[in-house]
């Protein structure tokens, strides 16, 4: 699926900040490729460096990874729910509350990255196997309307955003 397939009228304006960060082209190819770069970036911190916080009250690098994994799982659940025709409004997420109890700082970096890769493989497989009708289905999550079609773009842009923050503020 390419950006040309996205209609901004089919998702809340909040998500545009992520979608705009994704290069044109096939988003599933982008998801497959970008995770390798992000994992290499994070692995470069090592175990001690991945506990670094650039300021008081900010997440550690490990918590950023945990947040990306949590967000991806959540968005794929949303996509699956909507793709299967469920129109029940879904809750949002309180990212800081989730991060505070994620235990990410206690998980070895290698294990976090293995989890990130496994979740991404599952994400891409899920989206690759959707039929045409599923891509057009929509719902509400966290008070925001969105279609299945926008979700891989949001995930790709979300990862680009957080990898950029890690590069700029943690290195």
* 55 pLDDT above the threshold of 70: yes
Q: Has this prediction a pTM greater than 0.85?
A: yes
Mean per-residue pLDDT for 105-129? Answer: 98
What is the mean pLDDT of the segment spanning 21-38?
A: 95
Percentage of the residues of the chain whose pLDDT score is greater than 90 = 94
Please give the mean pLDDT across all residues of the chain.
95
At a CB cut-off of 8 Å and minimum separation 6, what does 150 contact? 6, 10, 11, 15, 19
Q: Identify the structural domains of the chain with CATH numbers, from first to last.
A: 17-170 (1.20.120.450)
Task: Identify the band that residue 1 occupies on the pLDDT scale cut at 50, 70 and 90.
Answer: low
pLDDT tens digits for 118-131? 999 999 999 999 99
Determine the average pLDDT of the residues in 68-95: 97
6: CB partners within 8 A, 6+ apart = 19, 149, 150, 153
Q: What is the arithmetic mean of pLDDT over 148-163?
A: 97
């Amino acid at each position: 699926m390419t950006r040309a397939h996205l209609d901004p009228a089919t998702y809340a304006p909040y998500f545009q900040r992520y979608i705009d960060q994704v290069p044109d082209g096939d988003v599933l190819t982008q998801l497959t490729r970008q995770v390798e770069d992000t994992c290499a970036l994070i692995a470069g911190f090592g175990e001690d460096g991945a506990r670094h916080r650039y300021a008081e009250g900010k997440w550690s690098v490990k918590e950023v990874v945990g947040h990306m994994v949590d967000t991806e799982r959540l968005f794929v659940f949303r996509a699956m729910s909507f793709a299967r025709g469920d129109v029940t409004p879904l809750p949002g997420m309180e990212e800081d509350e989730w991060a505070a109890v994620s235990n990410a700082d206690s998980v070895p970096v290698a294990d976090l990255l293995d989890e990130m890769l496994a979740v991404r493989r599952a994400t891409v497989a899920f989206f690759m196997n959707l039929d045409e009708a599923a891509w057009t289905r929509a719902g509400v999550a966290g008070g925001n309307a969105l279609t299945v079609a926008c979700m891989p773009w949001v995930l790709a842009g979300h990862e680009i955003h957080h990898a950029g923050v890690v590069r700029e503020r943690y290195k």
